[in-house]
Structure formats: C-alpha cells, structure tokens
Amino acid sequence: MVRRGRARGFFNRKGRSHPRVLAVVITVTLIWSSSLFAGEKLLIGVAANFILPFEEIARVYGEKTTIRVEGTYTSSGNLYGQIIHGAPYDLFLSADEARPELLFNKGVAEKPFTYARGKVVLWTSHREVCEARDWREALMMRKVKRVAIANPETAPYGTASAMALKRTGLWAAVEYKLVYAQTIAQAFQYAHTVAVDAGFCSLSSMFSEPAKEGCYLFVPEAPDVVQAACLLKRTSYREGAEGFAAFLASSEAKKIIRSYGYE
C-alpha cells in the first residue's frame, strides 16, 4: 500500500506551498503510484467457455485499476488438477459448481460464488443442417458423420451435452460419431475447421466472428451450466484478487456477461 504523507519544505514566503512546485509533486506522486499498481498482476484460471467475456472484463478492470489480469484457459477439470498440484492462480473461474466447492471443502479456496449460467448449442458450418426441425434431427442427418463434444469427464459443457444425448435416447445412436475435445472451445474449433460436421458448443461461442460462418440449434434438453468462481487462499495478491472478485459480481461485469449469452 502506498503511504500518504504531507510534503514539507516547499513553501513560499507567506508559508504557503508554491502552486507550481505542488503540481510537480502531485504529478510525480501519481506516476509513482500508478507504476506501483501497474507492476501488480493477477493470474486467473478460466474455464475455456468463458474466454470472450473474461477478456473484456479483464480489460475493463485493468483500465480502472491498472492491475494486469492474465487468464489461463482450459477445461475446469484440468484447472482443478493444476490447482491441487500447486498452480499459482489467484482465482479460479470454473464452468461448474462442483470443483470450486471441492476446493473450498479441502481448505484450498474461499467460499465459491456463482458468476454465470451458460447454455449448450449444436453448431455447424453446413447451413442445410440447420434446416432440420431441431438438434436431434440434425444429428441424424447423413451429412453429419462426425460430431465434436467436450470431454464429459473434465469439461462441464461436455457433461451437459452428454446428458442431453442420454435424456433423449440418442447416445447409443450417435456415440460412434463423437469426437472428443479437451475443452468446449476446442469442440467449436473442430467444428469451425470442418474437422467434424457439427459440434456441441457453448452459446457464448456464438458471439465470436468465426461462429457467424455457420449456424446453430439450441439444445434445451441439456441442463444449464451453472458456473462458480472461488478465490484461492494461496494467492499472493489478496487485495487485488478480492477486488476482481467484487468486480465480477458487479452490475457492470454482469452486463458484459449477459452480452455473451449467459444468464
């Protein structure tokens, strides 16, 4: 914390501080304070589905505080494993509630809080596939031979996608078509590069420029993905981490989050 004090020795003959000298002192103080805060950095583990809103939130927060915010993006399961093995994250933004709760129960993290609710969609670059009545009919089309899905064991959006397939009785019928991606972002990448014919993706991915090259169908049978975050007790910059967590829960951040299709 920058200590505040009263400058001495810069007075005019009447005992008042000289305005020009005072202006220089204030300017130097502001530059010094700014440089101190600019040296601070937050490292946050972020679920891959949340890349777009996170980058915007991090930019806005950085402009307000001059604190650098950096994210590491992968599946929630991978991030959880990294944290358990000592990864130096200050905060963990998961795509589920379970893993932050586990960290809290282990005494590794503070109490989790919900920051977003996401939805699953089926995206394809083949526009004729979107002419199907719904995502189920789309999956059964002859043109759709390979379908990307995030690993259900490590990626919450993959878990939700698999639940939709099982709830509708389609799992057995399309299991041979499934191509497993490490993250939900990678599932979209597979579909966008036409490595597969369609992919289960997060609705937030539909707000990216590449998504405009195709079309998507909602998957209402997939449960909403409730996403929770937690502050890690090992953080070396608690003040900054608490500040970012508070900003993430603010109306300004929530507006950004909603603009990417989250609730």
Task: List Cβ<8 Å contacts ≥24 apart for 245-254.
Answer: 245/91, 245/113, 247/57, 247/61, 247/64, 248/57, 248/93, 248/115, 249/113, 249/115, 252/60, 253/57, 253/60
Q: Closest Cα to residue 168, out of 204, 139, 191? A: 139
Q: So what's the pLDDT on residue 12?
A: 41
47: Cβ–Cβ under 8 A, 6 or more apart, which residues? 73, 75, 76, 79, 93, 94, 95, 156, 183, 227
Position 255 confidence tier, pLDDT thresholds 50, 70, 90: very high
CB atoms closer than 10 angstroms to residue 84:
13
For residue 240, pLDDT over 90 is answered with: yes
Q: Closest Cα to residue 203, out of 168, 151, 160? A: 160
Q: Do domains 38-117+225-258 and 120-218 have the same CATH topology?
A: yes
The more confident residue out of 11 and 20 is 20
Tell me the sheet residues that pair with 226. Answer: 117
Q: So what's the pLDDT on residue 39?
A: 54
- Cα 209 from Cα 158, distance rounded (Å): 23
Position 263 confidence tier, pLDDT thresholds 50, 70, 90: very high
Q: For 205-216, write each residue's pLDDT tens digit.
A: 999 999 999 999
Query: Would you state the structure tokens that stand for residue 233, as one six-digit string?
Result: 């007790």
For residue 17, pLDDT over 60 is answered with: no
Residue the block writes with tokens 């289960």: 200
Domain spanning 38-117+225-258, CATH architecture: 3-Layer(aba) Sandwich (3.40)
Q: So what's the pLDDT on residue 47?
A: 98
The chain-wide mean pLDDT, for the chain, equals 88
Position 88 confidence tier, pLDDT thresholds 50, 70, 90: very high
Q: Roughly what angle, to the nearest 10 degrees, separates helices 156-167 and 184-192?
A: 70
CB atoms closer than 10 angstroms to residue 203:
22
Percentage of the chain lying above the pLDDT 70 cut: 85
Q: So what's the pLDDT on residue 40?
A: 86
Q: For 92-102, write each residue's pLDDT tens digit.
A: 999 999 999 99
For residue 226, pLDDT over 90 is answered with: yes
For residue 32, pLDDT over 80 is answered with: no
For residue 200, pLDDT over 60 is answered with: yes
Taking residues 202-231, what's their average pLDDT? 98
What is the dotted CATH code of the domain comprising 120-218?
3.40.190.10
Q: So what's the pLDDT on residue 129?
A: 95
The more confident residue out of 173 and 38 is 173
Q: So what's the pLDDT on residue 74?
A: 97
Q: So what's the pLDDT on residue 2?
A: 32
Single pTM value for the model: 0.82
- Cα 183 from Cα 99, distance rounded (Å): 16
Domain ranges of the chain: 38-117+225-258, 120-218
Q: So what's the pLDDT on residue 31?
A: 31
For residue 57, pLDDT over 70 is answered with: yes
Hey, is 252 helix, strand or coil? helix
For residue 36, pLDDT over 60 is answered with: no
Taking residues 146-171, what's their average pLDDT? 98
**Counting beta carbons within 10 angstroms of the beta carbon of residue 145, is it exposed (0 to 12), middle (13 to 18) or buried (19 or more)?**
exposed
